[in-house]
Amino acid sequence: MEIPGIDMIIFLLVIGFLAAFVDSVVGGGGLITVPALLFTGLSPSMVLGTNKLGGTLSSLTSSASFLSSGKINIRLVAWLFPLSFFGSVAGAYIIHLIPSDFLKPIVITLLVLVTIYTLFKKNWGSTSTYKALTLGKAALLIIIASVIGFYDGFFGPGTGSFLLFVFLWYGFDFIGASANSKVLNLGSNLGSLITFALLGSVNYYYGIPLGVAMIAGALVGSRFAIRKGAAYVKPLFIGVTALLIGKQLWDVFQ
């Protein structure tokens, strides 16, 4: 594996901090880290695996920060975490067998719908209305957690936005939705990281400096979100989702 020079390490540290600051709240850190890692000259498969190393450390840090603030529904995410984990393992393995380009139009459509819905729901996410799950809602959430976990391992862009939207839809406020979504994102990141590592698609010389910076960025970002509340998280969610839509449209037309 190629060892990065000091200038490249500084580049990775800056990129990692900025990406994790945003990612710790609403996801979308891959918008910054994936192009940056491609810029370093790593192969696409190595970029995806190395990015998962940074993403795992980032989501672990933000999950711990949200947990310490009491924003995570532990009983709920405890049984969703394994679904997200094993779903992403399956997705990361299958991405080595078939291309994922066919997902882009579907992802663009879903992100547009998520953004429009959030914009028109003026007071959505300002206060929590979450109640105990009915059997039907629990079954649906099991399917959703598994599917999004698979999607994160297989393709990935927009995972944080989709997870946040799901928890908002189930009645959480923006901070609670962000907190719980990071735990599921940790599961999907960890599952796909382990799979990529076993397939030899992680560059640790690049991934460790990136991950260290993402720990710092996630700590600062999650604590900033807890202090600022929904007034900060909602605009950031809409902005990041809009950027994700633009990035996917750019990839399709290119």
* pLDDT of residue 100 exceeding 80: no
Half-sphere exposure of 148 (CA within 13 A, CB side): 28
Separation between Cα atoms, residue 50 and residue 6, nearest integer Å: 18
pLDDT top residue among 57 and 122: 57
Q: In 108-136, which positions are buried (b, 16+ CB within 10 angstroms) versus exposed (e)?
A: bebbbebbeebeeeeebbeebebeeeeee
Whole-number mean pLDDT of the chain? 86
Residue 130 in this model has a pLDDT that exceeds 70: yes
Q: How far apart are CA 236 and CA 226, in angstroms?
A: 13
Question: Taking the model in full, what pTM does it have?
Answer: 0.85
What's residue 44's pLDDT?
A: 80
The pLDDT tens digits for 27-82 are 778 878 888 888 888 888 788 889 999 999 999 999 999 999 898 999 999 999 99
Token code pair at residue 234: 């909602």
Residue 89 scores a pLDDT above 90: yes
Q: Domain ranges for the chain, please list them.
A: 6-253
38 CB neighbour count, 10 Å cutoff: 14
* N- to C-terminal Cα separation, the chain: 30
pLDDT at residue 236 is higher than 80: no
pLDDT digits 0-9 by tens, 167-224 = 999 999 888 998 999 999 999 999 999 999 998 999 999 999 999 999 999 999 888 8
Task: State residue 224's pLDDT score.
Answer: 85
